[in-house]
Amino acid sequence: MLPIIKRFHDTAENDANLLQAVRRKDQQAMVTIFDRYASVVYTVALGIMEDHAAAEDVMQEVLFQVWTGSQTMNAHGVPFGVWLVCVTRSRALDASRKCRRSIPREQGVPGSAVNPAEEVAYNSPDFTSRQVNKKSSAVLIELVTNDDASR
């Protein structure tokens, strides 16, 4: 068994409890899910999108989907982490296809219009996915809080 799949199996029971808490709109449970899976989701999205900002967007969309769709989410017996990777892959592929269709060939690839200062930061050896996670965590928590306030 691949190490990452084993990790998902090892956390399956705890993940089920966390998802039950997320269904009750427990923000701390969502933060725990974010801390546990954001880097995996981001890495999968980045591998497909090859653009840091687009990968962050996909990560936020997928994790926000967990928050908003937790009532109807059904992984069909698959560990939550595996389900999350599959959803991320699908969402990143969809976003990548959409990007390719919307950009004329002469403009280049997605991400070519990235702010040069941001690109330097992303490519810096000191830059880590944890920095992305902290920034995205704040955005996700704000989305979750705003979603709760609108109800």
| Nearest alpha-carbon partner for 137 in 13, 23, 31, 22 | 31
Distance in angstroms (rounded) separating the CA atoms of residues 50 and 53: 9
d(CA 38, CA 129): 9
Per-residue pLDDT of the chain (151 residues; tens, 9 = 90+): 555 555 555 666 788 888 889 989 999 999 999 999 999 999 999 999 989 999 999 999 999 999 988 666 766 777 888 889 999 999 999 998 887 766 554 444 454 444 444 444 444 444 444 455 555 556 556 666 666 666 5
Which residue ranges make up each domain of the chain? 3-149
Joined tokens for residue 87: 């959803």
pLDDT at site 136: 59
Q: Give the predicted TM-score (pTM) of the model.
A: 0.63
- Identify the pLDDT of residue 99: 75
Specify the CATH architecture of the domain 3-149: Orthogonal Bundle (1.10)
